[in-house]
Amino acid sequence: MNSRDELAARLDACQKCNVCTAQCPVAKVNPHFLGPKGLGPDMERFRMGQIILGETTLDDCSNCKTCELTCPSGVKITEMILGARRAASQGPHKNTLGAKLRLRGYVLGRAEYLGKLGVIWPTMANQVLKIKLVRLALDKALSISANGPLPAYGKPLAVRVDKEARNGTSTSKQVVYFPGCYTRYNEGDTGRILIQVLEHIGYKTIVPDFHCCGLPLEANGQFEKAHKNGLYNLELMRPYLEAGMPIITSCTSCGLTLKEEYPKLQATAVGLIGAQSYDLFEFLWQLYELGELPLDFQEVQASYGYHPPCHLKAQRIGTPALRILRLIPGVKIRNLDAGCCGLSGSYGFKAEKYDKAMKIGSALFEAIKVGAGHGDFQSMTTECGVCKVQILHGTGLPTEHPVHILAKAYGLIN
Amino acid sequence: MWDAIVVGGGLAGWIAGIRAAHRGKKVLIVAEGVGTLFYFSGIFDYGDVERLRHIPKHPYTLFKAQAIAQGKHFVQELCPEYVEKVKPQSAFTVLGTVRQGDLMPCSMALPDRQEQGEFVLLVPEGLKDFFPEIVAANMAREFPGWQVSVKRMQVDALGEWTRLGKSVSSIDYAFIWRSEEGQRALAHEIEEIKRQYQEAGRSQEKIVVVLPSLVKEYFDASRTKSYRFEFALPVLEMSSFVPSPHGRYFAEYLKHRFTDLGGELMIGARALSLNAESTSQSPAKACQEIIVQSLGKSLRLKGKKFILATGGLLGGGIKVGMERKSIREGVFDLPLFVPKEWSELQFFGPQPFAQIGVETDEFMRPLDPASGQVVWDNVHVVGRMLAHWDPWTQRCGGGVSVTSGYAAAELI
């Protein structure tokens, strides 16, 4: 940590300028929410005096990280809020969530177990989740909104392990892919296409049997389980990291967790994980800069609106997918950059937050509807799985991961 | 490899980025936070350009009059509502006092003080940091021939805020006014005001509604959505407390203009340092790449040209250590001009520390103050980072930023 970071981590760096609150998607729609400045640096002073806030005040934060990106002084606002949530979950009983919301946190945090259940018989799971009565029951029993766009399940992405790579004896170029629960259980096709693309550009892909990255667990107050998952995944990555292999993510929230949370864990490989984790397009751009990315693109006559997910911005790497896609002849793409979609992981699935999540996303939905209405683009593309679900829910426009467009250009899919 | 990498997302950085992208260049803007535009009033100050161009070393001396005019025209191309008049224009501040400005949206420009009429100050319920009594008193003092009345209004969408007694920021109100629901509510309210004046038999008088937190200009993420804002009476915008809605919508608008031209924004990333090799022919070095801190790793970004637009002391581009023991430009470690005495007793007078910055040649390339030699061949310094000017007493902050940003983009 350099001196600037230390300063920023300290709450004294907050000048109370309120720009974070002005940009906060939640504060705009929810007057009960104190806002990032209020809940982060302001309340931090009280927390330092051992006043522990209730969890319910804190969990209005959707953890989108917009405040941290916005802050001109580099204050770690969401980190403070998450820390306070952790403290509150262990605090005196009167401050903690009721049994129902605690159970909901348990369920929504476990995208992985839900995924494992869902993919046993995807059509069955999808049909059941479409039944109104089931959704009403979920709403009543767990406060999971009956209107929220719960994602469908599909054929899961298979694990691919390579013993040679783990021993460091492999000769071919290899990468490790961290697919994340959404790609693995809800959208296996995107994972399989991504592996095809990597193969096409000369990389063999290893997919170890990772657990959930931990972000949905943290967002739902399951801090211990998140911590355990992190340690488990890091141990699984360790031989590959030590062999110098890149870890590729296609989900921007998994990528954020690998880069931001894993380096804080106490494990042997933590020194490597930050620098060796790449968003897929960040990795491809690096190859392009080295002149190693095959440019055998076919023309793709299509125009897209692009939605940069909050957790991509939070990785502070710009929009590498746009850089790559704009190399493809025929592709037209507009970066809408219209703010958070509102779903923010599992936030918008929650009964009391559904309406607010839809309001948060309204600027994005409007930008999409107006743009598509003018014929500026025909479909949408974004990296984040749940942003896609929310965009479809809010606009009805088909949305795909940008790797699909790249795979079309390489002639790997139609 | 980018044609240009702009470090800093304030006014000068955005203008440089947009103009360069406009010229077909591949441009990346690296910005740590949202930048100081969130404190922008909506008004550009150019100052007394002719007088300032005669002050030795003032940034205006680096440019021909034509270059200054070109930058100004570029702003007007970007923002067609910014109409320049022969006489300087004035606008209401958030306190109801009057301030002059050189370029402002036409919906902000005040009517003639010699005329007679009535201002209806429309006060949205719970607007944060807004004090109607003070504002109305100031307006009455500034416009002796005018009457001032105050009318309050509520918006259904913010009912929950009102019920809680929670104040609403001007940014949130600006958002409401730009929604269909808000426009309807406003149109209805103004229609009602007009009707009351008609009933009182005063329909011949000049009535101007003044509404804090209204921003009519700049398209937003939808790009093409038009804001009609057709009201029964003329409506004046005024500037706001920070964070400012004009600044926010202007910043968003510049971002969309920039990315629509193919430019890329890397937000949240801090530029740390640079890599360069010196050429034997000249003492000036050429920068090859800058090192930028992303999450978990540092990125090496290669560019042909680099534009330093990180602001000065206030913007964070210049860091001062405790007790002024160190002072440093944060990215390129450029030599700085620092006056012997930093401050003077008269608080609102010209303060020497305002002059701190980087000295440059006519191409805005940084100079070593000791030797007078160019330090970097392909680095251009713009905006507040330039030395020898004072935006507060010379009132030329917008002018210097726009002019230098535009001129730097012409050199890409």
Cα separation, A61 vs A310, in Å, equals 14
**Cβ distance of B33 and A31 shorter than 8 Å:** no
Beta carbons of A4 and B321 less than 8 angstroms apart: no
Q: Which of A72, A367, A371 sits opposite B316 (nearest CB)?
A: A72
**Cβ distance of A316 and B269 shorter than 8 Å:** yes
**Cβ distance of A18 and B242 shorter than 8 Å:** yes
Sign of CA dihedral B198, B202, B208, B214: negative
* Nearest chain B Cα distance for residue A375, angstroms: 12
- Between chain A and chain B, the number of residue pairs with CB atoms below 8 A apart is 128
ipTM: 0.93
pLDDT at residue B281, rounded to an integer: 63
3-state secondary structure at position A301: coil
* Nearest chain B Cα distance for residue A217, angstroms: 21
pLDDT at residue B394, rounded to an integer: 97
Identity at A209, one-letter amino acid code: D
Helix-strand-coil percent breakdown of chain B, rounded to 5?
30, 25, 45
pLDDT at residue A1, rounded to an integer: 44
B230 to chain A, any CB pair closer than 8 A? The answer is: no
Which residues in chain B have their CB less than 8 angstroms from residue A72's CB?
32-36, 316
Q: Which of B222, B293, B302 sits opposite A366 (nearest CB)?
A: B222
From B44, B54, B88, select the one nearest B403 (Cα to Cα). B44
Which residue ranges of chain A lie beneath pLDDT 50? 1
pLDDT at residue A8, rounded to an integer: 56
B328 to chain A, any CB pair closer than 8 A? The answer is: no
3-state secondary structure at position A414: coil
A303 to chain B, any CB pair closer than 8 A? The answer is: no
Cα separation, B288 vs B310, in Å, equals 19
From B290, B363, B288, select the one nearest B333 (Cα to Cα). B290
A109-A111-A114 Cα angle (round to 5)? 115
Cα separation, A80 vs A77, in Å, equals 5
* Nearest chain B Cα distance for residue A8, angstroms: 12
pTM as predicted: 0.94
The torsion angles phi and psi of A176, rounded to 5 degrees, stand at: -100, 135
**Cβ distance of A70 and B34 shorter than 8 Å:** yes
Which residues in chain B have their CB less than 8 angstroms from residue A372's CB?
none
Which residues in chain A have their CB less than 8 angstroms from residue B225's CB?
366, 370
C-alpha B167: how far from its chain's center? 25
State which residue of chain A sits closest to B170, comparing Cα positions: A22
Q: Tell which of B1, B267, B313 to mutate to test the A interface (max A CBs under 10 Å).
A: B267
Cα separation, B305 vs B287, in Å, equals 8
C-alpha B244: how far from its chain's center? 10
Q: Determine which helix (DSSP H) or strand (DSSP E) holds A379, and give its type and residue range.
A: strand A379-381
Beta carbons of B288 and B277 less than 8 angstroms apart: yes
Q: Tell which of A317, A325, A369 to mutate to test the B interface (max B CBs under 10 Å).
A: A317
pLDDT at residue A9, rounded to an integer: 63
Query: Is B43 buried (19+), middle (13-18) or exposed (0-12) by CB count in 10 A?
Result: buried
Cα separation, A228 vs A234, in Å, equals 10
The torsion angles phi and psi of A405, rounded to 5 degrees, stand at: -65, -40
Beta carbons of B196 and B233 less than 8 angstroms apart: no
Which residue ranges of chain B lie beneath pLDDT 70? 225-228, 277-283
Q: Hey, what are A162's tokens?
A: 């390579």
* Nearest chain A Cα distance for residue B113, angstroms: 35
pLDDT at residue A371, rounded to an integer: 94
A331 to chain B, any CB pair closer than 8 A? The answer is: no
Cα separation, B165 vs B73, in Å, equals 45
**Cβ distance of A371 and B223 shorter than 8 Å:** yes
Query: Is A156 buried (19+), middle (13-18) or exposed (0-12) by CB count in 10 A?
Result: buried
Cα separation, B151 vs A316, in Å, equals 46
Neighbours of A169 (CB within 10 A): 9
Cα separation, A293 vs A279, in Å, equals 15
B7 to chain A, any CB pair closer than 8 A? The answer is: no
